[in-house]
Structure formats: C-alpha cells, structure tokens
A and B are shown apart, each in its own frame.
Chain A
C-alpha cells in the first residue's frame, strides 16, 4: 500500500507533463518534417524560379522595351511601355493571324474529337487484335513533330506528292496544297488533326471504359438501337471527359508551332500564319529580329492559353470531386 502510494506520488507530476511534452515533441517533429519537406522541394523551387519565372519575366521585359540587335546584346533598350502591343494590334498581320489561329484550332478540335470518339467507340468492344491495333494508333502521337511534318510536306507536294497522285487517278486533279494561299491553312490543319487523333482516342477510350456496362445492357433491354444508345446514354455520360479532352486539346493546339513552321513557314503570304508562328517569325524568322513585338505576341498567346487552362483545371477539379 505504502509502496503504491510512494510510487504514485512521483508518477503524478510525470503523468501531468506527458501531454505537454508529447505536444512539444509532435510540434518539433512537424517542424522538422516541414524542414525536410522543403529541403526536398528546394531543387524544384530553384529550378522553377530560374528556368520558368525568370525567362517569363525576361519575356515580359522584352515586350515592354524597344529592342534592336545592339541593345539586345548590351541590354540598355529604352523602356517604351505598351508601345509594342500597340504596334502588334495595328499590324496588318494581327487580324489574319488571330483568325487563322481560331480556324486552325476549332477545325482541328472538331475533327480530332469526332474521329477520336468514333474510334474509341469502335475499340470499346474488345475484339481480336484490338489492343494491338489501339497501341499502333499511338504512333503518330509519339513521332517527333519534324518527322511527321516533313512526311506530310512530301505527301502533299504539288508535283510528286502521293496525295495528288491519288487525286489525279480518281479524276479530281492536283491541288497546290502547300503553295496556294487557299489551301495551305487546310494542309497544316489536316496534318495537325492526324497528329491529335491518338490523344483523343486514348482519353475518350478510358472514359468509355469507366461507364459501367450494365447501363448499356439496360438500354439494350429497353430496345434502344445502337445509335440511340450512343446519343442518349453513352454521350451524356461521357460529357465530363469530353469537356476535359476538348479543353486540353485546345490548350495544346494553341501552342502548335512546329507543324506549321516546318510545312509552310506560315505562308504563302501569311495564309497559314497563326499567333505562334507569327511570334516566332518576328523574333527569329527574319534577318533583322524584332524581339519586342515578337514577345508581345507571345504574351498575348500565353494569356489566351492560360484562360482556357484555368477553365480546364476547374473542370477537372469538378470531375474529381464528383
């Protein structure tokens, strides 16, 4: 008894101090945990500041100054504020470039999405070789853009291209795909659609897989035809995934530069110039570069891409929450 009492007395203060010590310990662990967490993040933070934030800052700086080749090297170009933006808006190329960007993007998205969706529905029924064939569809997406663009350039060559050979054989006659201002924008759009189909197919296919099969079976039992099932069941259920596919496709298509530059350089006479190729041409395409206006066009493009990018992220969050 007395031993119990004796032991209890020293225990009491110790017990009372346990929670505070525990709290301190936990706080210390969290503090050191935060320290470790940020130590592991340090490389990427430095990286982002040096190789994302700083180049973007330089780009904004470029667009607000009046640069020449000499002042570009010496870095003492006079600050002109929004003058470059004014110059860009007043340029005769601005309207057509904006319009071509819209046409290129919208037409690409409509066809990529429609063809990708049709193929996804086709492949969603497993059949012999379906997995292999679906994997082969990825090839155009994985090829370096310069490879696909130069292949399309040669296929669409006016005199010796295989496309015109086929068109002549069926009696339609040759088309000056890349050298006629009426056709060059369509040519680069066709090549871009081809490159974008695999992405749409893959994302929409996985979206279709997520629709439970009993939904289809129920519709089938109710006597819905194949087209009805697609229009009334599959398509509405696929709407969130479709939205995300289109938005992500939009952000990617706005960025497209390689294909157009390699196939037509935005020509002939600006007939296939978009904001991206115009920005490149201003900065790098001429003997006398105009970095200021080039950077200004680039920053306009960033703003457009980010607006749709934020819409995309919001849509994806909502899908994730649902």
Chain B
C-alpha cells in the first residue's frame, strides 16, 4: 500500500516538473523541424506544424564524416579503456597488491583534474611527437576521461564476486590470467557494459580535447561539426539543431539500455550481501 501513495495529483505535478525540465530538449527538436522563414517569427511556432526535414537533409549531406569519426573515436576509447581498466580492477579487487590503496586514491584524484589542463599538456606532447590532429591521439586523450572511473567501478563490482567461484577456478588449476579471462570477466559482464557505455558517451560528447587536439584534423568528431556550424555564423538553426538531435542519440540509447544494466549491477550487489 505504501508503495503507491499520494494519488494522481502527485503524478500530475511530476509531469509538469518533468515537462518544464525537458522543455529545452523539446525546443531543440522543435527548432530542428522549423522552416528557415519561420525561424525568426515572433511568437514562434510552439509545435512543428509547418515542419520541414530540411535540417535533417543537411545533417545527412554534411555531417556524415563527423558522425563516422565520432563513432570510431567512441569505440576506440571503449576498447582502450577496457584493456587498461579491467585487469587493473581485477588486481585491485582480488589480488591485493601492496600499494593498491594508494593507487585507488590516485585514481580518485585523477578524476578531478580539469580537462582543459590535460588538453594543454597533451597539446605540447602531441605537437612534438606528430600525433596532433590524428584520431588515435584523440582516442588516447578521450580515454583519460573514462579510465579512472572504469577502474573504480569495475573494482567495486569485482570485489563483490563470490570467493567460492574464484576458489573453484583455482582448484581446477586455473592461474590468475585464466581466472580473470574465463571467470571474472564473464561474471562482470553487466559492469563492463555499463563502463563501456559511459566511456563511449564521454568520448562522443567530448569537446575540450577535440577542439584543442583535433582542430586542424582531417577527421573531426561531431562536436566540432556542431561547433563549426555555430562558429560560421550560420543562420540555419534547423540544421544545427537537427545535428544536435542526432548527436543526442547515444545519450538516449544509454538512458534506455544502461538504466537496466546499472539497475542489474545494483541488485546483483544487493543480493550478494
């Protein structure tokens, strides 16, 4: 009985709050369908009644390469993050390295360093090593957004794996590497997926590294695509907002898909206790 209380007026109020909060998102979608000649109309059309797909046509024609680059950068960041973070998390959670506590502390601190400062250091290094304006360079920089988070989240999950499971693997003669690969990783699937989704989203959304390390690159991500659109004093706001809508797709997918995985991870931990 206590689960649902307060009746419909709370639901009504909740819908109003949510609508107010999401109004900018709605407005982005609405503007993306607005015709050029209606763009400066006052008062504006509140609904896309005389909508156009002109903006989305512009996205298809002009933003394809940017979207492809973002996809590659995102996937590359996920791969690099997992390769570095998963073994480290296993070690911190299960193998009790001396100095592991200090390392966890360092990772916690690393998350707090402003991106703009990392960008300047990377710029100096990339310029002298010739990695500036390359996709691999951007992947490495973007992965710094995700690696500390990934190690800490995966370690938290892996320390919850039942000890008997790892014991059984050892009895069967599996070494640390074998245990990690065929027991720990498969069991940690949900947390690996969660970490991957966040790493992808952060790389996809990154603007600081893209605008400093890939400003003159042949392959630029979608955040720079939008930025150039605005910077060119482009008045085609339907195209800008259509690009923004398309760039928001991964976030939407994450919200729908990862909600389940985050919840799965939380309940898995709760069941174990």
Contact = CB atoms under 8 A, between A and B. Distances in A.
Interface residues of B, number: 95
B91 A155 contact: no
Most chain A beta-carbon contacts within 10 A, residue among B14, B201, B208: B14
A143 B251 contact: yes
A56 B18 contact: no
Interface string A281-314: 0011000000100110011011001100110010
A59 B117 contact: yes
B198 to A, nearest CB: 10
A59 B124 CA distance: 8
Interface in B105-135: 105-106, 108-110, 112-125, 127-128
Which label, helix, strand, loop or mixed, suits the secondary structure of the B interface? Answer: helix
Most chain B beta-carbon contacts within 10 A, residue among A62, A150, A302: A150
Contacts of B113: 52, 56, 302, 305
B157 interface: no
A219 interface: no
B88 A41 contact: yes
B105 A144 contact: no
B110 A33 contact: no
A17 interface: no
Contacts of B223: 144, 146
Most chain A beta-carbon contacts within 10 A, residue among B105, B121, B205: B121
B5 interface: yes
B114 to A, nearest CB: 4
B211 A284 contact: yes
Interface string B242-270: 00100110011011000100000000000
Nearest to A198: B21
Can you list the 6 inter-chain pairs with the closest CB atoms, starting with the nearest?
A: A55-B121, A144-B205, A37-B95, A37-B97, A40-B91, A44-B88
Interface of B: 2-8, 10-11, 13-15, 17-18, 21-22, 24-25, 27-28, 31, 39-44, 83-85, 87-88, 90-92, 95-98, 100, 103, 105-106, 108-110, 112-125, 127-128, 140-141, 143-144, 147, 151, 175-177, 180, 201, 204-205, 207-208, 211-212, 215, 223, 226-227, 230, 237, 240-241, 244, 247-248, 251-252, 254-255, 259
